[in-house]
Amino acid sequence: MLVNPSAASSELLTTLPGTNILGETFGIIGASFRDPTNIIREWTVQSLYSPVHGRALGGIRAKVVDQKDFISFVNQRDLEVLLELGYPGAYCKWLDQDYVEPGEPGWFGLCVDSNDLIDDLYDREMEARAQFPEDYVLPEGLNFERRVHDGEDNDYIETMLLLWDFDPVSGMGPDTRLETVGRRWQSIERTSGRERDRLWIRL
């Protein structure tokens, strides 16, 4: 078990200011595991995030990256199985239910939702800001490509475009708030269908 999120001290679940990134790494940043559905694909834990309230499974979240820079997220219960910190059929104390085998009903594994994608987008924006002087307004039209794995055989590549870097109400910039990052960027191109599903094999 990594941590009991409902009983953890506030220090263990403290996030970096203005983000959902946990300051505590629990010693697993850089840890890796094989994809249960593709043994040639290896995922490495890149960062940890605070729980999302209202999810079917609580707990912290991990962003993982593979050899070709595709990103995905894993919930805490399934991450503990993938890192062999918990075992299918064993009791998951913090969740009060058994761990699940990859591929069985109830297994979520590697996937993303809108909360995960916003956290990843904000990470990338922070990386972009680090290339410029402090309080620099990012130029409109700035763009980047991100590779996303959203479940078994579902990879896609999308291009994200910066629309503006200011508060639309006040007109002041830069706007560095997590809660508004989804309004600053737009997805302008994305692979789809069979081409998308086979991306990891070809790239």
Whether residue 189 lies inside any domain: the answer is yes
Whether residue 145 lies inside any domain: the answer is yes
Q: What pLDDT was estimated at residue 8?
A: 59
Alpha-carbon distance 147 to 131, whole Å?
Answer: 21
Whether residue 83 lies inside any domain: the answer is no
Please give the structure tokens belonging to residue 50: 């605070």
Whether residue 151 lies inside any domain: the answer is yes
Whether residue 170 lies inside any domain: the answer is yes
Give bridge partners of residue 147 from the DSSP assignment: 70, 157
Alpha-carbon distance 59 to 111, whole Å?
Answer: 15
Mean per-residue pLDDT for 180-189? 96
Give the three-state DSSP class for 60: coil
* Type and span of the H or E element at 193: helix 193-197
Q: Are 145 and 155 contacting, i.e. CB atoms less than 8 angstroms apart?
A: no
Domain count, the chain: 1
Whether residue 149 lies inside any domain: the answer is yes
Whether residue 54 lies inside any domain: the answer is no
Q: Is the pLDDT of residue 152 over 80?
A: no
Whether residue 97 lies inside any domain: the answer is no
Whether the predicted model's global pTM rises above the 0.85 cut: yes
**4-37 pLDDT tens trace:** 887 656 678 899 999 999 999 999 999 999 999 9
Alpha-carbon distance 174 to 134, whole Å?
Answer: 10
Give the three-state DSSP class for 26: coil
Q: Look up the domain containing 168 and give its range.
A: 116-202
